[in-house]
Amino acid sequence: MPVVTLSSDPLLGREIAVKAATALGYDCVDREILKAVADRYDVPETDLHKALDESPSPFGISSNHHARYLAYIEEATLAVLLKDNVVCRGLAAHLYVRGVSHVLKIRILPDPQKLAGEISSGKTSSFEKVSTLLKRRERFRRRWSLDAYRVDETDPSVYDMVISLTRIDPDEAVKTIVETTGYRKFKPMTYSLKCLKDKALASRVRVALIDQFPDARVEADGSSVVVQTKALEREKQKRTEVIKKLAGEFPEVAAVEVQILPDIFRKAAESFR
Amino acid sequence: MERPIRLLLLDDEPIVGKRLAPALAKIGVETESFTDPEEALQQVARKDFDIVVTDFRMDKMDGLEVLKRVLQKNPRTKVIIITGYATLEIARQALTIGAFDFIAKPFNPNDLRTIVIKAARALGYQVNEKPVDSSSAHGDSETEL
């Protein structure tokens, strides 16, 4: 059965995700898994939430920590998605599960009028204020997703379906999602299952490398893994050996290719010393 | 006794048919290999095949057109698309038209054999998965296509 990813404003989408999962007989996976991720990697759960909600900054979460936490979340989420029959929300899966044909990616757009009521919770909050807030949030999410995954999550072309709650009721949205999962095009097939398995393996290898190589980009194709990282010329051999050793420890990995790109910033910094 | 599973294999690279036919014979599949889509479709018109395995990108006709024509002739036929140019869009298009499965090249003959067994079972055939002898003369189980 297809996997459904739901992307929306943090205040929205949970109800739709839960209802869709219930109607489909799927599990609903959301940020509740972060507790287990935090325990597994011995990191504060609040930092994992921050990584999903904030961009790296000098006063907040550092770039290396941000990359590391997102790698942990990605690895855990992909492991869940591999089990199939899942509605996934709030874990940014739509940004790293791209190109998998049995993953139905949905974006839920809020109804500012209704959201105004939820945000104000009794206090007066004008439609204009909420609209401004939503626009600001959207700008922020755009920047966050581009920083983290080089994908603009506000771009509708990222999704298979965009549902505006201004025009479609939440129950109608659930019905539409359930109906769409029945389309043949979203049926898992050998190719799409392999794509997802490749992504899951790549994410596991990346987690294994991330302490030493926070910038490492990993791609897997079956039992072959390609790792790309930056280094100075003199570090090339050592880094290649370490990466091959760490990635080669996975029983599923038969071949590791390491591509070292020149680290021009460090090279420039060294030349000025 | 149940008749053997009839499979038509279409790929414009002759090596594909040459390598896959013996691998499929091991599970009792009778394979006819073609490199020309028009000749393959002529054979489909003459004879009923249970399973058709077709390449996606070929000079004269693409695999989706082959898929459509095979299903027009016999909607019961299970069509498996193989391609070295797999994308999400092509995969979804193939399933929408009615492909049974879609597999990206390179693949191991064992992978295709698994899909063929699944297709045969969906048609009601009893197929026993025999252990594959990797030291066979063709060495088909180990080398990717």
Indicate whether B131 belongs to any domain: no
Q: Yes or no: say if A109 and A162 are a contact pair by the CB < 8 Å rule.
A: yes
Residue-level pLDDT at B142: 53
Residue B71 lies in a domain: yes
Q: What's the pLDDT at A17?
A: 95
Domain count of the fold of chain B: 1
Q: What is the pLDDT of residues A126-137, one digit of tens each?
A: 777 778 888 888
Question: Which CATH number among 3.30.750, 3.30.300, 3.30.1340, 1.10.10 corresponds to the domain A212-272?
Answer: 3.30.1340
d(CA A197, CA A204): 11
**pLDDT single digits (tens) B19-68:** 999 999 989 899 999 999 999 999 999 999 999 999 999 988 999 999 99
Percent of chain A topping pLDDT 90: 77
Q: Is B140 among the domain residues? A: no
Q: Do B102 and A187 touch (CB under 8 A)?
A: no
The pLDDT value recorded for residue B139 is: 45
pLDDT of residue A29: 96
Q: Is B71 on the interface with A (CB under 8 A)?
A: no
- Asked whether residue B74 carries a pLDDT value surpassing 90, the answer given is yes
Q: Which of the residues B64, B67, B88 would you substitute to probe the A interface, choosing the one with the greatest number of A C-beta atoms within 10 Å?
A: B88
Select the more confidently predicted residue: A221 or B129.
Answer: A221
The residue of A190, A196, A223 whose CB has the most chain B CBs within 10 angstroms, and thus the best one to mutate to test that interface, is: A190
Q: Give tens-digit pLDDT for A23-75.
A: 999 999 999 999 999 999 999 999 999 999 999 988 888 999 999 999 999 99
CATH of the domain at B20: 3.40.50.2300
Better-predicted residue by pLDDT, A129 or A203: A203
pLDDT of residue B89: 95
Task: Look up the pTM and report it.
Answer: 0.89
Q: Using CA atoms, how far apart are residues A74 and A71, in angstroms rounded to an integer?
A: 5
Say if residues A1 and A181 touch (Cβ distance below 8 Å): yes
Confidence label for B134 from pLDDT (cuts 50, 70 and 90): very low
Per-residue pLDDT at A165: 92
Say whether residue B123 is in contact with chain A using an 8 A CB cutoff: no
- The tally of CA atoms less than 13 A away on the side-chain side of residue A102 is 24
DSSP string, A13-35: SHHHHHHHHHHHT-EEE-GGGHH
CATH 3.40.1280.10 fits A3-186, yes or no: no
